[in-house]
Amino acid sequence: MNKNQVQGAVKDIAGKVQEEAGKLVGSKEQQVKGLGKQIAGKAEKAYGDAKEVIKDANKPS
């Protein structure tokens, strides 16, 4: 697991927490910010996943 995968997962979780907090207090702005963090986190994790695939493909057999 590389740093992009970890950071992406953390951002995704933080976004979910922020979205839920926004729902609890009735703040659409916080909900949207939370969704944005989730999207950024998923994108960063996907980037990290791709890096791992490339790294594994380049390993000598």
Cβ(42)–Cβ(10) below 8 Å = no
Place of tokens 């999207």: 39
Q: Where are the domains of the chain?
A: 3-57
List the chain pLDDT tens, one digit each, 61 residues. 999 999 999 999 999 999 999 999 999 999 999 999 999 999 999 999 999 999 999 988 7
> Residue 11, by phi and psi: left (phi above 0), alpha (psi -120 to 50) or beta?
alpha
Q: 31 φ, ψ to 5°? A: -65, -45
Contact indicator for 23, 35 with CB cutoff of 8 Å = no
Of residues 46, 50, 45, the one with CA closest to residue 14: 45
